[in-house]
């Protein structure tokens, strides 16, 4: 459950941080710092967080209302928090919050920033000027993007995430094995095909979206699973309706948010309060298998069609395995614990040269026993909508 915290004087906090190592008990974990994100981050000690995920204003520079060809209004981003009078002011704002992000990050901490073509190149240049080292630029390709209603440009079907370390020689954290397992034993690529936030996940009040740019939980799931561990502290300077906090709580990570808009804060606190952390066994990931199907099993886990902790079994119910956060399976028996992908574990259990995990493993839904391929078909339908 989250809380709202009043900010403490920044200078006192910085002196305290230099005087002694930061204790997690001194951090406002599970709380939203209310107000300007730069002042909020200044209240935090140096080198105190493991990851910063930032979804800053995109500075979309919209010149007026956006309408469809039939004259109906498009619910676009027209909020004051996205308006800057000049690129210079936007750059100044970007530099200020990135300076604080760099200060509060641990030496081996990571930074993620998401943006569109309107702002990501300006953000990227500034973070490089400040000494951050870009490890990857991730293209989030939206499987169901909003169309270009005017027909005057290509449809904007992607956003860009920059993943950075503290510097060229800095250490950083990457769960390579978990990402490969999540992607059906293929290396996770830098282009991620995920649907935009819609359906029951989209927060609404009175039939209207609470936040115009709410990010899908599947996106944050992949970010946090790939670059943090259980118990790590994740800071989101632009907390919005709390997607980062909800996913962090589910995955057993600590979170701190910064947000100035009261309507977003209220929605975020209610949302996170309902979120349940995963069972310890489901949180364990692969630490250390050909042709990729059109959908990775991990995509079903990320989007919640098959949640971590779900029990899978073969058709004859000889073996029962538990789904873990990275899409791997765990089976416990008299011979000990066995883990692997849906294909690899099925192959091992049968002593077979290969196994199609999609048809081998089954789950129960609505009183019926179904192959997990049925969940894959549901996923395909959802991203085509």
What digits encode the pLDDT tens for the residues 284-314? 776 543 333 468 999 999 999 999 999 999 9
Is 18 a domain residue? no
- Domain end, chosen from 247, 282, 317, is at 282
Residues 228 and 176 both lie in one domain: yes
Residues 132 and 250 both lie in one domain: yes
Distance CA 5, CA 35 (A): 10
Is 147 a domain residue? yes
Please indicate whether residue 18 or residue 105 has the higher confidence score (pLDDT): 105
Question: What is the pLDDT, as a whole number, of residue 200?
Answer: 79
Residues 311 and 271 both lie in one domain: no
Residues 262 and 311 both lie in one domain: no
Residues 364 and 215 both lie in one domain: no
Distance CA 224, CA 230 (A): 10
Classify each residue of 282-318 as buried b or exposed e, where b means 16 or more C-beta atoms within 10 Å of its C-beta: bbbbbeeeeeeeebbbbbbbbbebbebebebbbeeee
Residues 275 and 306 both lie in one domain: no
Top-ranked range on mean pLDDT: pick from 30-34, 76-80, 142-146, 285-289: 30-34
Residues 309 and 243 both lie in one domain: no
- Domain end, chosen from 282, 314, 331, is at 282
Residues 210 and 274 both lie in one domain: yes
Is 9 a domain residue? no
Residue 176, both tokens: 């390579």
pLDDT band at 319 (very low <50, low <70, confident <90, very high): very high
Which CA distances in Å does 284 have to 110, 229, 278, 300? 21, 10, 10, 17
DSSP 199: G
The answer to whether 312 and 362 have CB atoms below 8 angstroms apart is: yes
The answer to whether 257 and 236 have CB atoms below 8 angstroms apart is: yes
- For 272, other C-beta atoms within 10 Å of its C-beta total 24
- Assign residue 217 the CATH number of its domain: 3.40.50.150
Query: What would the pLDDT profile of 117-133 be if each residue is shown by its tens digit?
Result: 999 999 999 999 999 99
Is 271 a domain residue? yes
What is the CA angle 283-328-374, rounded to 5?
Answer: 115
Please indicate whether residue 149 or residue 125 has the higher confidence score (pLDDT): 125
pLDDT band at 269 (very low <50, low <70, confident <90, very high): very high
Is 343 a domain residue? yes
- Domain end, chosen from 282, 308, 339, is at 282
Distance CA 256, CA 236 (A): 6
Residues 318 and 258 both lie in one domain: no
Is 288 a domain residue? no
Considering its fold, how many domains does the chain have in total? Answer: 2
Overall pTM surpassing 0.85 (yes/no): no
Residues 274 and 333 both lie in one domain: no
Domain that holds residue 373: 297-382
Partners of 137 in the beta sheet? 162
Residues 72 and 197 both lie in one domain: yes
Query: What would the pLDDT profile of 360-383 be if each residue is shown by its tens digit?
Result: 999 999 889 999 999 998 888 777
Residues 70 and 148 both lie in one domain: yes
């Amino acid at each position: 459950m989250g809380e709202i915290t009043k900010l403490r004087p920044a200078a006192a906090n910085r002196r305290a941080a230099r005087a002694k190592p930061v204790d997690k008990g001194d951090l406002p974990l599970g709380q939203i710092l209310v107000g300007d994100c730069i002042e909020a981050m200044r209240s935090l000690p140096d080198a105190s967080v493991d990851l910063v995920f930032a979804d800053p204003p995109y500075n979309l520079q919209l010149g007026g209302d956006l309408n469809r060809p039939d004259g109906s209004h498009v619910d676009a981003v027209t909020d004051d928090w996205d308006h800057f009078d000049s690129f210079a002011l936007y750059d100044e704002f970007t530099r200020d919050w990135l300076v604080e992000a760099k200060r509060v990050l641990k030496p081996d901490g990571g930074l993620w920033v998401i943006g569109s073509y309107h702002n990501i190149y300006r953000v990227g240049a500034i973070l490089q000027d400040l000494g951050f080292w870009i490890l990857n630029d991730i293209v989030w390709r939206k499987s169901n993007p909003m169309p270009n209603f005017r027909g005057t440009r290509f449809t904007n079907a992607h956003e860009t995430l920059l993943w950075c370390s503290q510097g060229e020689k800095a250490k950083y954290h990457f769960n390579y094995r978990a990402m490969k397992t999540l992607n059906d034993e293929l290396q996770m690529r830098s282009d991620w095909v995920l649907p935009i936030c819609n359906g029951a996940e989209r927060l609404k009040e009175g039939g209207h979206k609470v936040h115009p740019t709410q990010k899908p939980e599947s996106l944050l799931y992949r970010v946090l699973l790939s670059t943090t561990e259980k118990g790590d502290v994740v800071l989101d300077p632009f907390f919005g309706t709390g997607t980062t906090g909800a996913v962090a709580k589910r995955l057993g990570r600590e979170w701190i948010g910064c947000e100035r808009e009261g309507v977003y804060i209220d929605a975020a606190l209610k949302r996170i309060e309902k979120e349940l952390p995963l069972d310890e066994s489901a949180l364990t990931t692969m630490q250390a298998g050909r042709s990729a199907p059109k959908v990775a099993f991990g995509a079903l886990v990320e989007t919640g069609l098959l949640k971590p902790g779900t029990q899978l079994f073969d058709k004859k119910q000889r073996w029962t395995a538990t789904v873990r956060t990275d899409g791997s399976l765990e089976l416990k028996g008299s011979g000990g614990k066995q883990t692997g992908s849906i294909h690899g574990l099925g192959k091992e259990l049968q002593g077979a040269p290969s196994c199609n995990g999609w048809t081998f493993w089954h789950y129960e839904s609505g009183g019926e026993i179904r192959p997990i391929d049925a969940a894959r078909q549901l996923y395909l339908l959802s991203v085509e909508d």
